[in-house]
Amino acid sequence: MLATADALAILLDAARPIDGLETLPTLDALNRVLATDVTSPLDVPPMNTSAMDGYAVRIADLAHGSRLPVSQRIPAGHAPTPLAPGSAARIFTGATVPAGADAVVMQEQTEVAGDEVTIVHRPQAGEWITAQGADIRAGSVILPAGTRLTPQALGLAASVGCARLEVRRRVKVAVFFTGDELTMPGEPLKPGAIYNSNRFTLRGLLERLGCEVTDYGIVADQLEATRATLREAAHAHDLILTCGGVSVGEEDHVKPAVEAEGRLSMWQIAMKPGKPLAFGAVRRSAGGAGGEGGGEPAETFFIGLPGNPVSSFATFLLFVRPFVLRLAGVQAVAPRALSLRADFTQGKADRRNEFLRARVNAAGGLDLFANQSSAVLTSTVWADGLIDNPPNHAISAGETVRFIPFSELLN
């Protein structure tokens, strides 16, 4: 069996950013991936500004006394005149500091009487002044290509005047599910049948990543039906994702179907939950629709996930998520992990790399969900993330473990 790190390395080595660019209004670019660097055309702030409501002064004027006439009033958004020697300017937060002023005294450190102000604090040079370019310098790259655009990234782009952004098109993913036992919610549940929870989980995960999803639904456990769906899904998609049927039983038709329609590497990954994982590609027949921005690839990537709900959830987060992000042009795809205290004992070590569902308790340690079976989907809702437990390692209460929060894995 492949180690999880080796399996992930193979996937990421195969992934290349997709062709096809779009230019979108900055307001509409949330969660998209930048195709080109965003370089600031200006300093931010573009002038010296006041960080407080108060009075702009020349420090040298205070050597002869602290009482100064107020020569002007400067609200934010108004252009001031140069500060007259021997005077102060009433100024508000965010307003432009007048030429000649070298400090701002906050209003709490002044006494006002009519048109004069008494400065009761001796300021330092630059006090309460935000210097021009303190945040961003003109010509600097503020968002590099490959950045996934968060709300704050959109705000940063807007702060330098970017009205439109060049982004990569969405990753196009075809998804289908195999298993004659699968039933959709709302339909009668026949003997031996189960509801198809994986369809809801995986579609939600793909859409959260910003993918353009084509859902082919439940495909019958038949070789020809599986092959026909693969052929159709290969057109105009970057990835085919399936769930179920990737083991080696007589009713598992995905493996032979992909081998007949393309190529496949079957992996037995040394992880728990989620051992079977298939990766390969499906040929595109001549005349299929292509992606924008270049010639159509000869193949569409294929990933087959196991059918147990926790296994499919975990393998998606650990393997499909970084693969899709890399296709989308994101460079930094590794989730950040935390070192936290285990407030439980897991006495039995497993020979595989375990990913245990756990959550953070009020004391800042980790509690373990009682039932770690790959069929218990409840654990994924109860937990805050996964403990990455190395092979052959039993966990003792009080030791530090590697914890990957779902907040990292779901972004």
For 372-392, the pLDDT digits (tens) are 999 999 999 999 999 999 999
CA distances from 47 to 76, 82, 130, 349 (A): 12, 14, 9, 61
Q: Is there a contact between 33 and 168 (Cβ–Cβ < 8 Å)?
A: yes
What digits encode the pLDDT tens for the residues 211-266?
999 999 999 888 999 999 999 999 999 999 999 876 655 557 888 999 999 998 87
How many residues in the chain? 411
What number of CA atoms fall less than 13 Å from residue 220's CA on the CB side?
5
Domains of the chain in sequence order:
4-20+170-327 (3.40.980.10), 24-44+134-168 (3.90.105.10), 49-130 (2.170.190.11), 338-409 (2.40.340.10)
Q: What is the pLDDT of residues 97-112, one digit of tens each?
A: 999 999 999 999 999 9
- What integer pLDDT is reported at residue 221 of this predicted model? 84
Tell me: cis bond preceding 191? Omega within 30 of 0 counts: no
114's CB contacts (< 8 A; 6+ apart) are none
Pick 133 or 276 by higher pLDDT.
133
If residue 171 lies in a helix (H) or strand (E), which one and from where to where? none
One DSSP character per residue, 25-91 reads EGGG-TT-BBSS-EE-SS-BSSS-EESSSEEEE-GGGGGG-SEEEEEEEE-TT-PPPPPPTT-EEEE
Tens-place pLDDT, residues 31-79? 999 999 999 999 999 999 999 999 999 999 998 889 999 999 999 999 9
Measuring CA to CA, how many Å separate 201 from each of 109, 126, 257, 310, 316? 58, 55, 24, 10, 10
Distance from C-alpha of 331 to C-alpha of 328, rounded to nearest angstrom: 9
- CA–CA gap between residue 88 and residue 60 (Å, rounded): 12
CA distances from 73 to 77, 79, 130, 243 (A): 12, 10, 19, 67
pLDDT of amino acid 411: 85
Is there a contact between 373 and 306 (Cβ–Cβ < 8 Å)?
A: no
Report helix angle 254-261 to 223-234, nearest 10: 50
331 — pLDDT class (breaks 50, 70, 90) = confident
Determine the Cα–Cα distance for residues 321 and 305; give it in Å rounded to an integer: 12
**CA–CA separation, 198 vs 54, rounded Å?**
60
Residue 80: φ, ψ to 5°? -85, 165
Q: Which two tokens stand for residue 3?
A: 């180690």
Sign, CA dihedral 310-314-319-321, equals: positive
> What sign does the CA torsion over 217, 220, 221, 225 have?
negative
**Which of the four pLDDT bands, split at 50, 70 and 90, describes residue 289?**
very low
**SS3 label, residue 5:** helix
- Three-state secondary-structure class, residue 14: helix
Question: What is the secondary structure of 176-240 as a DSSP string?
Answer: EEE-TTEE-TTS---TT-EE-HHHHHHHHHHHHTT-EEEEEEEE-S-HHHHHHHHHHHHTT-SEE
HSE of 184, CA atoms in CB hemisphere, 13 A: 7
Evaluate the CA torsion angle 44, 50, 56, 59 in order and state its sign.
negative
pLDDT of residue 293: 42
**% pLDDT > 70, the chain:** 96
**Cis status, amide bond into 390, omega within 30 of 0:** no
Q: pTM of this prediction?
A: 0.87
Residue 315 tokens, joined: 């393998």
User: Does residue 317 carry a pLDDT above 90?
Assistant: yes
